[in-house]
């Protein structure tokens, strides 16, 4: 069976946020050790406060595979990876990407294998 060209979508956007926490000395590093917890908490609160929960899915994920680049989120359907460093960065992503459909270029991380 072939994939359909388009399926009905539950959300306009879906954010996956890495919640993996490894010890600080771990050679791979982790988003948790890089300070992800308070950032994702802020992101969840902003999504709720702005009543975006009906159109924005927000899911805690495990390791996304690029640990040293973290803390990382990826937003679909665009497939944009962001590396926020502060609550102000989170607010920018919410305001620009989620509310205004604009890329926050300074926070985009381009990953390569």
Of 39-47, 67-75, 85-93, 99-107, the window that binds ligand FES (rule: CB under 6 A) is 67-75
> For ligand FES, which stretch binds (CB under 6 A), given 37-45, 66-74, 75-83, 94-102?
66-74
CA distance linking residue 92 with residue 11, whole number of Å: 20
- Secondary structure class of 101 (helix, strand, coil): coil
Name the token pair of 65: 């595979």
Q: What share of the chain is helix, strand, coil (3-state, %, to 5)?
A: 30, 20, 50
Residues 13-52 vs ligand FES: string with x where CB under 6 A? -----x-x---------xx---------------------
- Binding residues for ligand FES, per CB under 6 A? 18, 20, 30-31, 63-67, 70, 72
């Amino acid at each position: 069976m072939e994939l359909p060209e388009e399926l009905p979508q539950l959300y306009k956007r879906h954010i996956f946020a890495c919640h993996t926490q490894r010890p600080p000395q771990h050679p791979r590093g982790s988003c948790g050790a890089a300070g992800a917890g308070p950032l994702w908490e802020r992101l969840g609160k902003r999504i709720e406060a702005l009543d975006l929960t009906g159109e924005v899915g927000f899911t805690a994920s495990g390791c996304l595979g690029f640990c040293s680049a973290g803390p990382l989120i990826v937003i679909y359907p665009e497939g944009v990876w962001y590396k926020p460093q502060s609550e102000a960065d989170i607010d920018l992503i919410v305001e620009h990407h989620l509310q205004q459909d604009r890329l926050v270029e300074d926070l985009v991380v381009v990953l390569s294998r």
